[in-house]
Amino acid sequence: MEITWLGHCCFRIRAKESTVVTDPCDKTTGYSLGRPTGDLVTVSIDDPAHNYVAGVAGDPRVIDGPGEFEIAGASVAGVTTYRDKEKTATSGRNVAYVIELEDLRICHLGGIGHVPTSDQVEEIGNVDILLVPVGGGDSLDASLAAETVSLLEPKLVIPMHFKTDIEKGQLDPIDRFLKEMGAKSSETHAKIAVTRSSLAEQTQVLILDYKR
């Protein structure tokens, strides 16, 4: 499986069965997707920064709500969460997705604004790879993101939704999250290839550079 960060909360997850694009963002975020091709698109929030489905080529199937789905060779479960720390619908609904591909469980938390409740943690279940917002704004900040990691106990953490040289949102830099996690390296990777056997026993943080 190959994972590429396209910017903001958008990733392309390319597996043998299919290619999934998460939370495609429009240019108001500062990023340009470049028309990635996907078989399946997940949308966590009804907002142009997360639901720019028109930016994905290939006539993909779209999932934009909670429930369980079997589409394009992928098993997907959508879990209802919220955008505010009070865990209410005041700031709107967010859907976290658990995507199963190539015997790996990837959890994309979208624009979640609160630490998941015990019921939500149970609903999410075991997580191999966690795609988590860390830069604050309307989503988790560094400390809340680190707390979320400790609850979900993934093998691999890939941060998203943080300040970069082109991000237009008022977000915190990645350094704050790395400090919270006690991570020693801020080295970035253009993309990552992951298999079950390549995952470490202890939780690791890996930073992807957005696709330029």
> What does the pLDDT look like over 114-147, one tens digit per residue?
999 999 999 999 999 999 999 999 999 999 999 9
Percent of the chain with pLDDT over 90: 88
Domain 2-208 has CATH 3.60.15.10: yes
Q: Who wins on pLDDT, 171 or 91? A: 171
Task: Supply the pLDDT for residue 92.
Answer: 83
* Of 194, 95, 114, the residue nearest 154 (C-alpha): 194
* Of 47, 57, 42, 46, the residue nearest 10 (C-alpha): 42
The mean pLDDT of 32-60, rounded to a whole number, is 95
| Global confidence as pTM | 0.96
Structure tokens at 180: 């919270």
Average pLDDT across the chain, whole number:
94
Task: Supply the pLDDT for residue 14.
Answer: 97
The structural domains of the chain, with segments of one domain joined by +, span: 2-208
The mean pLDDT of 21-39, rounded to a whole number, is 95
Task: Supply the pLDDT for residue 211.
Answer: 82
* Of 15, 156, 159, 138, the residue nearest 76 (C-alpha): 15
pLDDT reading at 91 higher than 80: no
How far, rounded to the nearest angstrom, does the alpha carbon of residue 136 sit from its chain's CA centroid? Answer: 14
* Of 53, 66, 137, 69, the residue nearest 96 (C-alpha): 66
Task: Supply the pLDDT for residue 212.
Answer: 74
The mean pLDDT of 168-176, rounded to a whole number, is 95
For residues 181 and 205, the answer to whether their CB atoms sit within 8 Å is yes
Q: Which residues contact 208 (CB under 8 A, 6 or more apart)?
A: 3, 4, 5, 158, 188, 189, 190, 191, 192
